[in-house]
Amino acid sequence: MNEILLMLPGPTTADPRVLQAMSKAVVNHRGDEFGEIYTETTKLMSKTFQTKNDSYILTGSGTSAMEAAVSNLVNRGDKILNVVGGKFGERFADISKMHGIESVQLDVEWGTAVTPDLVEEALEKDEDIKAITMVHNETSTGVAAPIKEVGEVMKNHDALFIVDTVSSLGGDYVDVDKYHIDACVTGSQKCLAAPPGLAAITFNDDAWAACEKVEDNNYYLNMPKYRANGNKDPAQTPYTPSVSLIYALKAALEVLHEEGLENRIERHHTAAAASRDAVKALGLELFPDEAVSSATVTAVKMPEGANDDQIRGTMLNKYKVQLAGGQDHLKGNIFRIGHMGVINYQELAITFTALGLTLKGLGLVEDAGAGVAALANHYIKFKLLEKV
């Protein structure tokens, strides 16, 4: 059977240990055995978030954690600053409005990143803003936001800093405590390289203080309930969790920390830089500026003379490599190469070989091997092939 190579911004390929972990017998989610597994998993999550705060696992996608953060920390009628520069920034704004929160949107052009100065200006303009939401890694555009620098701005304001690291945690620099992040969320199926279906969230003391003042909490994503049940002996979740997926997440986090968080992040940055070299060598144009390009997904402008079906369709149907298309107004105008989780040089070499052959077949390049050669040269230049 010819398996598809997933080069998507999620879901990503899972390590065999992770898949094997899901085959373990399901146990009582109110019992001691699961309580120990859940506790170990949440501790590994906090270690990955780089925070002294407790973390909680939600049975739901990353969007569930986004909604949990907003709805538990900001009251109806209060103001929230939503930074919007892509599909998932829009999602934070939509969630805010859904919960009756007044969304003040700080819009930046898709393909660009917000600046700390813009955030500072928006907060100084309206002192009633209770929180700011920001997507660290906007997979819809391939842009990474400067959360560390914005965190420095947030030190001078009372507003809470809520950050989506769904597609960056474990693949880019995220230090919840040092970056002054009050609430941080992530998902299982991106850089953590676990199957889809779980999310994680962590609050600091300021976030919990705000949570206590929120009058209209939701039911399933009620964070005080998660906290109370997490403090039980054995630790529990307030509602039935996906036991098998938590087995998988625990295994994925163990794989991550065996590699070393710093090493894993360095591997992602190397893959991103090498991918950008390969894209340019094939005569293609990156969608965002390199200065703000993501470490986990590379967004590429659709070349003139080709359409989405010709590029992504050929890659999938002929070469068994699956890339992502554009979203909303970018549909058909860009394609996206995910390089996150356990993806390394070998998978990138297959991908850029297939992309080169696809472009050659369309008459868009003469040298089909230019991309994969540039990829190899990047790894050779920095003496990284021995690490893959």
Q: Are residues 109 and 134 in the same domain?
A: yes
| Residue 350's CATH number | 3.90.1150.10
Q: Are residues 83 and 125 in the same domain?
A: yes
259-280 residue pLDDT tens: 999 999 999 999 999 999 999 9
CA 138 to chain centre: 8
Task: Tell whether 224 is covered by a domain.
Answer: yes
Residue type at position 20: Q
Strands 334-338 and 324-325, bridge-based pairing: antiparallel
Q: Are residues 124 and 188 in the same domain?
A: yes
| Residue 33's CATH number | 3.40.640.10
Token pair listed for 50? 């780089």
Return phi, psi of residue 351, to 5°: -65, -50
Strands 143-144 and 137-138, bridge-based pairing: antiparallel
Find the mean pLDDT for residues 130-153.
98
Task: Tell whether 112 is covered by a domain.
Answer: yes
End-of-domain residue from the set 218, 243, 258: 258
Residue 386 has pLDDT above 70, yes or no: no
28-86 residue pLDDT tens: 999 999 999 999 999 999 999 999 999 999 999 999 999 999 999 999 999 999 999 99
| List of residues 6+ apart from 216 with CB closer than 8 A | 75, 76, 99, 100
Q: Are residues 323 and 283 in the same domain?
A: yes
Residue type at position 171: G
Q: Are residues 195 and 322 in the same domain?
A: no
Three-state SS at 30: coil
Task: Tell whether 9 is covered by a domain.
Answer: no
Q: Are residues 212 and 267 in the same domain?
A: no
Residue 381 has pLDDT above 90, yes or no: no
Find the mean pLDDT for residues 118-135.
97
**Residue 341 domain boundaries:** 260-387
H or E element: which one contains 147? helix 147-154
Task: Tell whether 3 is covered by a domain.
Answer: no
Find the mean pLDDT for residues 145-157.
97
Task: Tell whether 6 is covered by a domain.
Answer: no
DSSP letters, 233-248, are SS---SS---HHHHHH
Rg over CA atoms, the chain: 21
Provide the number of structural domains found in the chain.
Answer: 2
Task: Tell whether 5 is covered by a domain.
Answer: no
The pLDDT of residue 1 = 42
CA distance 24 to 296: 31
Q: Are residues 222 and 302 in the same domain?
A: no
Task: Tell whether 187 is covered by a domain.
Answer: yes
End-of-domain residue from the set 227, 243, 258: 258
Q: Are residues 251 and 316 in the same domain?
A: no
Q: Are residues 267 and 212 in the same domain?
A: no
Q: Which residue has the higher pLDDT, 33 or 388?
A: 33
Task: Tell whether 166 is covered by a domain.
Answer: yes
| List of residues 6+ apart from 154 with CB closer than 8 A | 119, 132, 161, 180
Q: Are residues 25 and 45 in the same domain?
A: yes
CA distance 201 to 58: 8
Q: Are residues 69 and 116 in the same domain?
A: yes
Q: Are residues 171 and 309 in the same domain?
A: no
End-of-domain residue from the set 220, 241, 258: 258
Find the mean pLDDT for residues 308-313.
98
